[in-house]
Amino acid sequence: MRSIILWSIVSYLIGSFPTGYVITKLFHRDKDGKRDNLDIRTIGSGAIGATNVGRAMGFGWSRFTAVVDMLKGAFALLLAAHLVPAEEQNLIMAVAALAVVIGHNYPVWLKFGGGKGVATTYGTLFFIWPYKSFAVVLLCGAIWYVIMKLTRYVSVASMLSLIAMPIFFAMLGAPQEFIIMSAILAALCVFRHRTNIVRLIHGSENRLK
């Protein structure tokens, strides 16, 4: 139990680094090229993730934010993989994966208002079950890309690609802890996109240009 609590806290703190918030605060410029201390939460969807950073600063910064958010998840999982005893690894890594995404979505530093956890989930699950998890995440990434290209809805691509993850993990015979955890993360992703779902129903969801 102590290990679970410890790794929950450590992973939560790793995940709670507010990448998009920090990037826009440090690097966003106004029309005159001056740093304007932009708070990403005041524009677009109000989220601090890569998609909203893209609205404020363009695709390059969006991609950079996504990579850093992926690396948060990867770092937490690699840390657990190297420090946790083998007999505890499956459970602890599943707990760490969930905690790091919760940290991203609900960072204590920003009064628990964070991103939607898609990039962090990808980075986290990539390393959870080498080498089969590599294949699962890359395949889900391909699903994300195809759906996004067909619909131009990032939200739809994100939700459907993460919903596919526990299915692929189950098909490959992953440990039960990983299947359950990836299903919880998929459900959390859908919950975090609930306003997008409402906009999709009403036909007002923004398409990627």
CA dihedral for 22, 27, 31, 32, sign (positive or negative): positive
Residue 43 has pLDDT above 90, yes or no: no
Query: b/e for 161-184, b at 16 or more Cβ within 10 A?
Result: bbbbbbebbeeeebbebbbbbbbb
Mean pLDDT of the 33-45 span:
87
Boundaries of every domain in the chain:
2-202
Q: How confident is the model at residue 45 (pLDDT cuts 50, 70, 90)?
A: confident
The whole-number pLDDT of residue 59 equals 86
* Distance from C-alpha of 33 to C-alpha of 44, rounded to nearest angstrom: 21
pTM to 2 decimal places: 0.90
The whole-number pLDDT of residue 29 equals 87
Mean pLDDT of the 55-69 span:
91
CA-only gyration radius of the chain, Å: 17
Q: How confident is the model at residue 130 (pLDDT cuts 50, 70, 90)?
A: confident
The whole-number pLDDT of residue 168 equals 98
